[in-house]
Structure 1
């Protein structure tokens, strides 16, 4: 396998909103004296590529190569191709897209200023029977493609009148094409990803379509992420615009909730443009994707508005399901389904925050969802790959960015303890649900460096307050944080120290474990001195998030917990038995209530009618998890407050309820203290109102299954597990 560093491109001029530069075709003919026994192609296509050999597309998935900062990590894909080669003439062909390499719609996060910004380029090597046959060089021929504009976040523009028939075949005459030019080689470390690729997973037909305003609104039965296939009998030069949204209006769609603040959408965001050739034709975008439930189609005649005009192709990383959960409560089941849908819609090589407005690898979102991701999916390889990029982006001080990949944005704002804990959380849960220490050993030094950095951020109280807080509190927006940052940051690092200590013990790192334990003890002591009084959080600091986090992360002494739980119950009662937390508090509130015997209250907070609750969104048609809990106008997905918009309707970071379903209702506790990977506790909570439950989680080559049901003579529980697993029954 050869990681060629010889990059080529069609032009050094990159695409912008003001100056469109088409995606380039590149191709090369080559001859073989005989059919080889073994042959490989290694390719790094920046930002994205599609690859053909002798007219057959062999690209491993969509949006390849792995999305990264190429000055940190340079991703190559490897193809075994001996079966596709032939004696005599052969042809290799590539189509390149901008991807993260050139992303003007990422200007909010300074991707338009990235040091690595460049026009699409590639490095490629063909090896035959152990020897390098050729690498990409100026002998490759190149031409503009019909993709006249493409942007990872904005969309794609395709002009079918510019198609070049047979461009990727041996018979095509490329003598009029230009020669490629040499491009700058990025500084990143060459690597082949270990995780599954992004793929087209399934297709959805529209549930309805109707004329609205100047176009046609196509509605699909669920909010998700992917692309639309357009099929039309078109007229040459006919121009069609597709606008993708989560919200429909009487005149079409509303995309305000998926555009960032005051940044202009340039007339490009969440839109694909297609220029028809004559006759029947089909088009699927190559180098973008969208998060949407509705598509507003402009530029078609009424007779062209058919059910088959648009097909929703659901796209995400090909994560395999690892677990399942269902019970007698249909609200719980719908929330479980919505959580999984948001998880997958937000997994494009790595966990993103949302599949439309940002498409960023926000570290805090992944940290919050780490356990529920691992309970639902085999995400461990994808975690490992992304954490390689997180480590590559860590700066000398030990600080971490709030988004990865990054071009440098996310260190001055957008990070902090609750976001930076991502390395520890993904490592901890990646090991917990696989018993594979690889993820621990790979990330241990990064964890050490970060916690040493955190020590340098102690304030005059010996506490921490340098990051984002209890984000998206119920009734508020994003940074309308109601809980003291000193509380959430300090408690998060207390938890990080604890988990880092467990990891250190597993790896036999005694000195580092002592260091983590000492930092844990210092932070806990300082926290208690400022915030704890008479077994409670001091009244002026007391919120549901503050108290539940302090309970869950063991800031109270054992003899204080009864009083602290009472304080939490009083805070909930003061809100008429509704939750009043942000995403950090949501990670602990329901767990704490169940840990201390209040399962029914925990379930009530999740499934009851009214605002705020998870059911509140379901009752308004939610098929995914939403970013905020905002009080909405009757019959509309619109805030009651004037001048405000809802935010994203597809965010996974409220999804820890799924972990609560598995661990509390079903009671599956795999390697509960990380002391013995072969021990699984089964501790179901038989919550009033739930009559039966069934859950599964694949583990150690088999499947752990728990099923319980209420019957006249009591609750019947059945458990099965792989032979090597020791089941500890706790019911």
Structure 2
């Protein structure tokens, strides 16, 4: 029976704080093969009164349906229903969302408050509020420069730790919205806010100049509580100068340095009126990405004592998070925790700042006990990358229950799945997902231990695997805004986003800047999000024209090339090759991609001009770098460069026989290296797909699992629990995902499931002659799609699940496929190249067996 599920507004389930024109989406389940939506009807009620009825709309699309009614009131519960007619019957369902705050007036005079100058402790703010009667429902909105931890009557009232999200505060300031009616009672209620510095007011100098960012200042908060009473009246309570201020028990906090907490100061005795502070310059926007949360807890596998009074806890894997402590001891006892991803030769964590990035402490927490019995504490305003924690000053000997590692990252559900008959490949997939999650803290960061920055090249390389595996659409859409903000209205984006005015100039860097063009396109391709593409298209077009103009004769250059190829320093560096090859390849890719985006948006004149520009860059690339023997070479290359040739093939700079020759040259080089890659971050993403697509699937698999340096198998052989920043065992970071793009290949080639557009799929397993089984699942705008194939000494069996509304092209190795399959419901035969069978299928479940 056909049914509705997965109802969302703005890609979220029952969101609070929607301050844009809402878009609705749903998925259809059941109904059998060929089921399809014929029409829908949407109704929206605000505050119990219907404000919009779409009428019956004949359309098969089930996502991104934009509200077209009158302006919605602020801070209001909106109920919506969708009724659909399908080829297999009708269905009806409903859900709810709450609007946010649209204008300055909606904030009801709420002031920005905090402490005007630096003092000993993190600011504590407090106020009492009497709603004047029983509360039926309430919404709490909180904006901050920095982080704000809110409690109502002693209970947590925020969406989670480390919120609101980090942005360029000169351009945008996020606010959170939560339902809070269950926390309020009749009579006086107490609201308390503790403020953390975050990247708004970093405590110490650092190499990225966050301490001199144009917004840098003391943390501040703006708060509005909207309470609807049982008698139908509405009361608001806002932050104001009447709130009280005190120094709290957090005596130091910094994103890199960690925190110090003195439990003796938990109940301040001296309170004074809060200071009214200037608002950050940026406009207020609702936090669209999922909040950060404690998503798991790990107990130590071992606690050692490498030196008297020095305890080292080893946890099962590298995480991003914090250590939650449980201790008893005399008042004034100071416990120090230092975090590291690896152990030194002395058996202690590597928590040193060996590159001199930070002024002062690094990855360190301190707890001073109050002496009140059993005390529990975990840091509030920082996170660390670690597998090992060193504890000193402990009163006695810590036990496993005293030290709990809490995993902290954006609470994005894992929606994609992969497994196959080779445990090593399955394990690499698991490590990739874990590493990505460790780097989601309001934006995709490059490492939870060292930098915590949103390097655009890293995020660009990982964005597709993010979208295959995680419900991270809103996080990436938010980050595209961050990238756009770094342009300040013109030119190229910066290489980290947000950007606080870092004085180091990395321009030009087209492969890194490409994030601004490619990620909006992928959000459209994988999630059907036309709004992000449309909103950023003018800026994307302006940037690529700027990049083209500063590329003489169509040849671009870059400061950042194929980063961390195997022969580079384990601390990082460019491959020893002509960086213009990668730069020009990415310039071409951006032009070609933007031409496709222009076409999708109906801008045909732009599309023609962009295709012409792309053709000119392609011709310049071929004239400069493609040699008569079919190999792509640059000036000053250190021998054959796999990445040069891989990018040329992957991006279509060479095609047909030329592509086969270039891929063959890559294969020959890899075999000469003993079945090894020689790529850095840029080439690694495309290496295995290029080899597989050009008849070298067995070699691609050999490279993937080779246990010797360099490669992913080497990491596994050396006990990796997450992915590393470099192929070397001396890699600086053990929490870097940008070499984990093998995961793209696992989905698209090993399992054989590729997303070509919103609801357009290709199923083409490519390693059926190497492995015995593989399975993958991804989420499309129409719902989950799956492929599951196996060949256990017999025929190849491929099972495919296509969601209602989607289409799939199934391409299988040539074999005997019965006429009953070709003539089955929902199946059409399609043209296929020699050696393949091609079938087009509509929604439903299918199993194909080739003998």
TM exceeding 0.5: yes
Cα 1:489–1:590 shift into 2, 3 Å: same
SS at match of 1:475: coil
Measure, in 2, the Cα distance between the counterparts of 1:326 and 1:274.
43
| 1:282-681 equivalent positions in 2, closer than 5 A | 282-301=376-395, 303-409=396-502, 412-413=505-506, 416-459=509-552, 461-477=553-569, 478-534=572-628, 535-538=630-633, 541=637, 542-630=640-728, 632=729, 639=730, 646-670=731-755, 672=756, 674=757, 677-681=758-762
Residue 254 (structure 1) shift: 4.1
Instruction: Report Cα offsets for 1:218-266 as digits up to 9, x if no partner.
Output: 000101111110011222111111010011135342436x736233552
SS at match of 1:570: helix
Separation of aligned partners in 1, 2:713 and 2:794: 32
Cα distance, 1:83 vs. partner? Answer: 3.8
Asked if 1:220 is matched to 2:315, the reply is yes
| Higher deviation after alignment, 31-40 or 499-508 | 31-40
Contact 2:169–2:280 at 8 Å: present in 1 too? Answer: yes
C-alpha contact (below 8 Å) 2:240/2:276 kept by paired residues: yes
Does the 8 A contact of 1:5 with 1:123 survive in 2?
Answer: no
Counterparts of 1:144 and 1:493 in 2: how far apart (Å)?
Answer: 52
Residue aligning to 2:330: 235
C-alpha distance after superposition, 1:303-351 (max 9, x if no partner): 4321112101111101111210001111111111110010000011110
Q: 1:666 offset after TM fit, Å? A: 0.6
Q: 1:596 & 1:299 partners in 2: Cα distance?
A: 60
CA distance in 2: counterparts of 1:474 and 1:446, whole angstroms: 36
Counterparts in 2 of 1:678 and 1:462: CA distance versus 1, 3 Å: closer
Distance 1:493 1:331 in 2: 35
Distance in structure 2 (CA, Å) of the matches to 1:423 and 1:552: 20
- Choose from 240, 245, 253 the match for 1:137: 240
**Contact kept? 2:319, 2:385, Cα under 8 Å:** yes
What is the deviation of 1:292?
0.3
| 1:177-192 equivalence runs, <5 A | 177-192=271-286
Shift of 1:6: 5.4
Counterpart in the other structure of 1:97: 196
Moved more, 2-11 or 501-510: 2-11
Establish whether residue 13 from structure 1 lines up as the match of residue 145 from structure 2. no
1:78-157 matched pairs, under 5 angstroms: 78-105=177-204, 107-129=206-228, 133-157=236-260
- Matched-pair contact (CA < 8 Å) for 2:108–2:236: no
Q: 1:35 to 1:147 in 2, by over 3 A?
A: same
Q: Would the aligned equivalents of 2:292 and 2:408 in 1 still touch at CA under 8 Å?
A: yes
* Residues 538 and 101 of structure 1: CA distance in aligned 2, closer, same or farther (over 3 Å): closer
Answer yes or no: is the 8 Å Cα contact 2:633–2:641 preserved in 1: no
Alpha-carbon shift at residue 689 of structure 1 (Å) = 3.9
| Cα distance between partner residues in 2 of 1:50 and 1:71 | 22
Instruction: Give the match's secondary structure for 2:463.
Output: helix
The 5-angstrom pairing of residues 185-204 of structure 1 reads 185-204=279-298
Tell me what 2:807 maps to. Answer: 726
**Aligned match of 2:125:** 26
| Cα deviation 1:521-572 (Å, max 9, x = unaligned) | 1111111111112232247544101011111111124332232223222322
Q: TM-score, normalised by structure 2?
A: 0.79
SS of structure 2 residue aligned to 1:107: coil
CA shift for structure 1 position 406: 1.1
Partners of 1:55 and 1:683 lie apart in 2 by 55
Match of residue 700, structure 1, among 781, 790, 793? 781
1:246 alignment partner in structure 2 = 341
Q: 1:21 to 1:453 in 2, by over 3 A?
A: farther
1:88 positional shift: 2.9
Q: Is the 8 A contact 1:488 1:546 kept in 2?
A: yes
Question: Is the contact made by 1:706 and 1:717 (CA closer than 8 Å) also made in structure 2?
Answer: yes
Q: Deviations over 1:607-652 (max 9, x none)?
A: 112111111111111011100012x4xxxxxx4xxxxxx3101101
Partner deviation per Cα, 1:187-215 (whole Å, 9 max, x = no partner):
10110022211111011110100111240
User: CA contact under 8 A between 2:173 and 2:282: conserved in structure 1?
Assistant: yes
Q: Structure 2: how far apart are the matches of 1:497 and 1:588? A: 19
339 and 370 in structure 1: CA distance in 2 versus 1, 3 angstrom threshold: same
Task: Evaluate the alpha carbon distance shift between residue 127 and residue 566 of structure 1 in structure 2; reply closer, same or farther with a 3 A threshold.
Answer: closer
Contact in 2 for aligned 1:22/1:149 (Cα 8 Å):
yes
Instruction: Determine if contact 1:700/1:722 at 8 Å carries over to the other structure.
Output: no
Contact 2:631 2:662 in 1 (8 A): yes
For residue 383 of structure 1, report the CA deviation from its aligned partner.
0.8
Residue pair 2:145, 2:280 contacting (<8 A) in 1 also: no
116-125 or 680-689: which moved more? 680-689
Q: Once the two structures are superposed, what CA deviation does each residue of 1:92-115 show, in whole Å capped at 9, x if it has no partner?
A: 211111011111446211111112
Contact 2:773 2:791 in 1 (8 A): yes
- Deviation string 1:148-188 (CA, Å, 9 cap, x unpaired) is 00111210101111121xx7xxxxxx7x4111111121110
Deviation at 1:90, TM superposition (A): 2.2
- Larger displacement relative to structure 2 (403-412 or 41-50): 403-412
Further displaced range: 185-194 or 716-725: 716-725
Taking a change above 3 Å as real, the CA distance of residues 657 and 4 of structure 1, as seen in their structure-2 partners, is farther
Name the structure 1 match of 2:794: 713
In structure 2, what is the Cα distance between the partners aligned to 1:358 and 1:263? Answer: 9
Q: Provide the C-alpha distance between the structure 2 equivalents of 1:137 and 1:702, rounded to a whole number of angstroms.
A: 46
Q: CA deviation at 1:39?
A: 3.5
Give the distance between the partners of 1:422 and 1:260, measured in 2 at CA.
30
Taking only aligned residues, the RMSD between alpha carbons, in angstroms, comes to 2.0
Worse-matched range after superposition: 280-289 or 710-719: 710-719
2:695 & 2:620 partners in 1: Cα distance?
29
- 1:729 is displaced (CA, Å) by 1.2
Q: Does 1:277 align with 2:362?
A: no
- C-alpha spacing 1:41/1:711, structure 2 compared with 1 (3 Å): closer
* Counterpart-to-counterpart distance in 2, 1:436 and 1:480: 34
CA distance in 2, matches of 1:398, 1:479: 25
Match of 2:29 in 1: none
**2:139 corresponds to:** 40
Distance in 2 between residues matched to 1:687 and 1:488, nearest whole Å: 32
Report the TM-score when normalising by structure 1. 0.91
CA distance in 1: counterparts of 2:125 and 2:253, whole angstroms: 17
Q: Deviations over 1:346-374 (max 9, x none)?
A: 01111000001000111110000111111
